[in-house]
Structure 1
């Protein structure tokens, strides 16, 4: 059975395989594909609405227990690539 995690954006519970694990590295949010990067992780659905809600609520900062703002460029690029895969464009 797959472990259950809570999305920091919409606060809905989902299986670990349905969520993205996000960690911080040098004040940047980075998607942890393998689920084995060191440090605390925050879990979020791979949907723009959940990520935007988490950023608006400062949920990543709280969940990762880091002071100050985080650079979200890497995470946003990753979400854009998911959207392209869903739409079938390259």
Structure 2
């Protein structure tokens, strides 16, 4: 979604919307429409710039990515 580089699903992080906030779904079991990004801040930033999240999740308006950004900051190894 963000960098548009294709890779295997196991290397991507699944995201879902919970009460207007994008949260990481580490186990892949949360309900709802999912979107996938690389677990890197650069990929997240590209997706935000392209306004890809509302399209991917099929919702109107902006979505909160604060929780996701904090989670990726802890995981990021760049």
- TM-score tier by shorter-chain length is over 0.9
- For structure 2, which runs of at least 5 residues remain unmatched after alignment? none
- For structure 1, which runs of at least 5 residues remain unmatched after alignment? 1-7
CA-atom RMSD in angstroms: 1.2
The yes-or-no answer on 1:47 pairing with 2:48 is no
Higher strand share: 1
Give the ranges of 4+ consecutive aligned residues of structure 1 lying more than 6 Å apart after TM superposition: none
Match of 2:72 in 1: 79
Match of 2:15 in 1: 22
Match of 2:30 in 1: 37
Structure 2 residue aligned with 1:60, among 53, 66, 71? 53
TM-score (norm 1): 0.82
Match of 1:12 in 2: 5
TM-score (norm 2): 0.93
